[in-house]
Structure formats: C-alpha cells, structure tokens
Amino acid sequence: MPPESAPARRTRLAIPIVLLLLALGAGAVVFIGLQDRRETRERLRERAEVARVPVVSVVQPAPAGADAAFFELPGRIEPHSRALIHARVAGYLRRWHADIGTAVRAGQLLAEIDTPELDQQLMQARAELASAQANAALAAATARRWESLQAQNFVSVHAVEEKRGDLAVRQAQVAAVQANLDRIETMRGFARVVAPFDGVVTARATDIGALVNPGGGPGTELFVVSELRRLRLYVQVPQNQVAFVRRGDKAEVIVPERPGERFGASVQALSQAIGASSGGMQVQLALDNAAGTLLPGGFARVRFAQPAGSAGLTVPAGALIFGKAGPRVAVVADDGKVVVRAVSIARDFGATVELGRGVSAGDRVIENPPEGLRDGDPVEVKAR
C-alpha cells in the first residue's frame, strides 16, 4: 500500500474537526434559541401579571356642602277638605248652577233634581196624615162623649176605657204618619244639591236631563268641591330620616309650575308608623294657599332642615356597586387590596350621592370599579 501523502492526511484529519465545529455551532444555535424562548415566556408572564392587576382611579369622600343643611323629598298636594257630592234621591237633573272652577259658599245651590216619584210619595203621606188626624179627632170626641155618659152611669167604666184606648191608638197612628211625612219631606229637600263648605268646584260629572240615583259608589258623584285656601301636603319620609322630622317643623315647598318660588309649610301630623310598601313614615304638612297659586293633586318637592353634623359624605354616582346585597363601594386599603363595603344612600344629587354610612373622609374610593372586582383583589392606583 503506497504511503499516504501529506495533503490527503491533512484532509482526512480536517473532516472530523469540521464536523465537530458544525455540531458545536448547531448546539449553540439551539441553546440560544431555547434561551430566547425562555426569556420571552418570562417577559410574557410578567406582562400578564401586570395586566391582571387593574389600574383604578380613586377619590376621597367629600362633605355634602351647603345643601347638607337640607334633605329633599317628593310630596303630593291635596285639598284641606274635599267632598264628593252624591245624589241622595233618585230623579232627573233639572239644572246645575255651578261649573268647574266656580267658587261656592257653604249651602250654595249647586243643582236641582226632579223627583216625580218622591213627589207622589209626599202627596200620599200628606193625605194619610189628614186621614189619621181625622180619625184621631173622631176618637177623641167619642171618648169624651162616653166619659160624660159614664159620669151619668149610662155606660160602664170598661166601655170608656176601650174608647180611651182607641183614642191612644189613633194618636199613635198620627205620630207615625207624621214621622213618615217628615222623612219624605227631608228626602225631598235633598233634591236641592248644595255645597257643604266654602270652596271651589273642581269637578262636575253630570248634566241636564241625566238620570241620577242615590248612592256613594266610585264615579257616581255629581260634583267635587275642594277647599283650596288651605292645603295638605303628604310626604313619605324614609326610615333613616324620620328622626329629623317633628311636629311643628318648618319646610320649603317647590312646585314645577312656579320655578324659582318657595312656599312655606309646617309639619301638622305624623303617622307614627313605617309603611310596609313605602318603607317610610307618612308626614302631613299644612300649606297656606290664600293667593290660590298652588294646585291640589300636584307634585311638589319638600325641603326639610337637617340638624348640623348629621350630613353624610358624597361620592361620585359611578362609584356605587349595585347587587343583591344592596349598594356598596370599593375602597383601596393601605396594602393595595380592595375592600368592598356596604353603604346607605341618604340623598341622590345625580352626579354624586350622599352616603349615610359606610365610608369615612380619608377612604380611597374607586371611582369606576371594574366589572368583577372582588373583596381582596389587588389594584394599582393611577397617579394623578
């Protein structure tokens, strides 16, 4: 075998070295790739952790301000007195004398009713009274005659007693017929429909020729008369504010048809009970309406004075979380975690709400809590 030349020997020795270098290069590429992928995963994990912690804006509860001296509630204005005038006799309406808006005095004629049947009963009762009186007069004359005969011993005492008894019966019949006549005459007087008190006719539900029947069912009234110089105002005061309202307290009344005007009212009566449906206590206020500016049946806003120091703190309306547990707010604690607290709403100002309890002045309340935020979740407070 001929001896191997030097170039061939160098070539044979260089091949393994080249293969080794290629293997090392490939291993380095794989190692670098794996290292990059691991670093990328770590960066993505860190970004996910950062993204999982929501960034929130916080506010501190503020005092309610100047409006804290009052709390405002809706109310309904009603007449001081309101009477639904029904017919007491059957008949046909002959004429009416007062239309809606007419001011009337007590006893003033409102309408007249034709009562033909009652008129016939009245005539019959008068005839029966005349007959009963004639029979009683005859019985009285007979009794006197028999008494004179008995004085001469022509008749027995027993016979005289019978005549006296017949006279008593006749006199009782006269009294009964007279009572029936008085009743019919009294009923006949109800054919004149009159106002029960000074006021204004606020409704008329009949017209000439209409058939009217006695009764007091809903919708059967002929007129409605209301006293408008004095009014009553009814308000449902929530249970957490009933302690601020007492008999004799003053209040301001605001009505939509008189913008910018304020009317004075005073607390007249309290129901002393919490309504199951409203959750509040009914309070009645008295309103003077001598000028006739206020309208009964209308809506009003009533402002009651609130004792100093009883006002709560206000937070943005968007800070409230509503659920089955009632209204709540999310507060950021010192450790950066969320504390969800139950609160009570004292007043709603639209953009802000006044809370009666649940927060203090130094709390950091989340302005717009993210959906799904729970008690104990970490958050990052956005720098202002």
Measure Cα distances from 91 to 32, 191, 259, 264 in Å. 111, 8, 48, 46
Q: Among 254, 275, 305, which residue terminates a domain? A: 305
In a domain, 50, yes or no: no
What is the pLDDT at residue 281? 92
How does residue 12 score in pLDDT terms, banded at 50, 70 and 90?
low
Q: Which of 185, 58, 196 shows the shortest CA–CA distance to 124?
A: 185
| Residue 217, pLDDT score | 78
pLDDT for res 103: 93
CA distance from start to end of the chain: 90
Weakest-pLDDT range from 69-83, 295-309, 357-371:
295-309
Residue 266 lies in a domain: yes
> 284: closest CA among 226, 245, 243, 254?
245
Based on the domain organization, do 165 and 121 belong to the same domain? yes
Residue 160 belongs to a domain:
yes
Query: Do 261 and 339 reside in the same domain of the chain?
Result: no
Angle at 118 between CA 197 and CA 205, to 5 degrees: 45
Say what percent of the chain tops pLDDT 90: 45
Mean pLDDT, range 366-384, rounded to an integer: 83
Whole-number pLDDT of residue 198? 93
Predicted pLDDT at 254: 92
Sign of CA dihedral 268, 273, 278, 279: positive
pLDDT at 365 over 60: yes
Q: Same domain, yes or no, for 268 and 344?
A: no
Pairwise CA distance, residues 37 & 32, whole Å: 9
Contact of 331 with 341, CB cutoff 8 Å: yes
Assign 335 a pLDDT band (cuts: 50, 70, 90): confident
Q: What percentage of residues in the chain have a pLDDT greater than 70?
A: 85
pLDDT > 60? residue 93: yes
Quick check: helix, strand or coil at residue 67?
helix
Q: Which two tokens stand for residue 317?
A: 């309306």
Please give the tally of structural domains in the chain.
Answer: 4
Q: What pLDDT shows up at residue 325?
A: 79
pLDDT > 60? residue 4: no
Neighbours of 186 (CB within 10 A): 10
Tell whether 142 and 160 lie within a shared domain.
Answer: yes
User: SS3 string of 317-374?
Assistant: HHHCECCCCCCEEEEECCCCEEEEEECEEEEECCCEEEEEECCCCCCCEECCCCCCCC
Residues 95 and 185 in one domain: yes
Is the pLDDT confidence value at 45 over 70?
Answer: no
Least confident of 43-47, 145-149, 284-288, 335-339: 43-47
pLDDT band at 310 (very low <50, low <70, confident <90, very high): low
* Residues spanned by the domain of 332: 312-381
Last residue of a domain, one of 305, 327, 343: 305
In this prediction, residue 383 has a pLDDT band, given cuts at 50, 70 and 90, of: confident
**pLDDT value of position 185:** 93
Q: How many helices (H) and strands (E) does the chain have?
A: 3, 22
Amino acid at 28: A
pLDDT value of residue 131? 94
Confidence of residue 384 (pLDDT cuts 50, 70, 90): low
Give the confidence band of 287 by pLDDT, cuts at 50, 70, 90: very high
> Per the domain annotation, does 360 fall within a domain?
yes
Task: Return the beta strands (E) in 125-181 as ranges.
Answer: none
CATH of residue 108: 1.10.287.470
Band (70; pLDDT cuts 50, 70, 90): confident
pLDDT at 276: 85
308 pLDDT band (50/70/90 cuts)? low
Residue 203: predicted pLDDT: 93
